[in-house]
Amino acid sequence: MAKFHSQYVCQQCGYAQVGWSGRCPECQSWGSLVETVTREEKGSESKPGNKKSAKPVTLDSIPVKSTVRISTKISELDRVLGGGLVPGQVVLIAGEPGIGKSTILLQVASQIGETLYVSGEESSGQIKLRAERLGIKGKSIGLLEETDVDLIIENADTNPDVHGSKNPLKAIIIDSIQTMITTDLSGMAGSVGQVRECASRLVRLAKSTNIPIFIVGHVTKQGSVAGPSVLMHIVDTVLWFEGDKTLPVRVIRAVKNRFGATDEVRIFSMEEKGLVSMDSPEKIFLSETKNNLPGTVITSVMEGSRPLLIEVQSLVVPTKMAYPKRIAQGMDTKRFELLLAILQRRCNIPFYEFDAFVNIAGGISIKNDPSADLAVCLSLASSYFDKALPKGSIAIGEVGLLGDVREVVALDKRVKEASRLGYRIPITSKAIKYLQEGIRKYLK
């Protein structure tokens, strides 16, 4: 018979002890002791001769099974998951509080069917109010206010039907993992030991019953302690929820996916009725008119496998201050200052006499994509000369320190998508070799 008890195990060297301490006595590392459940075998089960050893099998002898995916009926979410949910898949949705995690999961529950929604943060009344605001009836959604993960697993095993229906559970939603506890550990909810042990038991439940489970995880300003990073090696899929809560744009990024691509990024719009899939996100990021204005340049960035057209806006005004202002929204400030230095040195534009501002319209960020360098430079030069680029033009390219324009990844795919949307004058490394050549060709 097995007996469970807990020990504090060092995550660096594996040293274990009964009580907690701030510093590991073995390796002297701070804050590395985490409460962990251990299993002690008693009686004949502990004898080595009674243990069954697993035998290896060849890779060719394993049968190939075709996996039937479960559609969430939310097109953008299905795409970022790789085509839908896989039976027994465990999905971690991570993001800052208030970004829309509970909202989209409530929408998923209404679309999938019989779903057990476990809430450790909100009451049933609060969830009901949100459902009414979103227009969700929720006849097939079972609500459970519980934080004990063992009782949740027992409820899911003994009550596979929701509200007495004949259909078994199709999904389980845990909101959130930071509120779940198990009585086998003495730590408080949200600690590293509790989060990891609760998640491990939920994963075993999903694999044994083939029921997909969504787990909500919050991101804190202090880092990943007791946060989603602790769970990334346990779950099958990690979806990162991003966006500015003051803007309607929400981005879901697949950070890890055992059943699909990890470079998928999908875009939603937060509206009164919840999150809406944006099959044509250029409606948000581009202005309605195709006529370029001075300081405005269209470019294409890759969000996962999708080319996305965005609008770069710049403003250059004379300054009387000793140190000109440099303000960038939606891109890295240091990258912005670097591009200004290239324009000043290689193109002889005296930006030291001007305040320079740049903004990426629509609230999206291009901090990690150098393919927008050419668009930012041409936007600043366009504002300086007060002259717009030709109608229907799009600028794509990385700018080097020598002022050279370099080719970027998936250039043909970006140009093709831009041409489909009416931008048929590509300004790329194939059209110009140096930034100064492009300014002279299109703005002078």
Report the share of the chain in percent with pLDDT over 90. 43
| pLDDT tens track for 217-268 | 887 654 443 456 678 888 999 998 887 777 788 888 888 999 888 878 888 8
Confidence at residue 29, expressed as pLDDT on a 0 to 100 scale: 84
Output the CA angle 85-87-92, nearest 5 degrees.
55
Confidence at residue 224, expressed as pLDDT on a 0 to 100 scale: 45
Q: Return residue ranges of the chain for CATH 3.30.230.10.
A: 283-442
Q: Is the pLDDT of residue 49 over 60?
A: no
Query: Tokens 């960020």 label which residue?
Result: 365
| pLDDT tens track for 92-151 | 998 888 888 999 999 999 999 889 999 998 898 999 999 998 888 878 898 999 999 999
Q: Return residue ranges of the chain for CATH 3.40.50.300.
A: 71-279
Q: Using 50, 70 and 90 to split pLDDT, how confident is the model at 3?
A: low
| pLDDT tens track for 60-92 | 888 877 678 889 999 889 989 988 999 999 999
Give the architecture (CATH level 2) of 71-279: 3-Layer(aba) Sandwich (3.40)
Stronger pLDDT, 29 or 244, i.e. the higher one? 29
Confidence at residue 342, expressed as pLDDT on a 0 to 100 scale: 96
Q: What's the pTM?
A: 0.76
Q: Does domain 283-442 have CATH number 3.30.230.10?
A: yes
Tell me the average pLDDT across 170-188. 87
Greatest mean pLDDT range, 189-198, 303-312, 389-398: 389-398
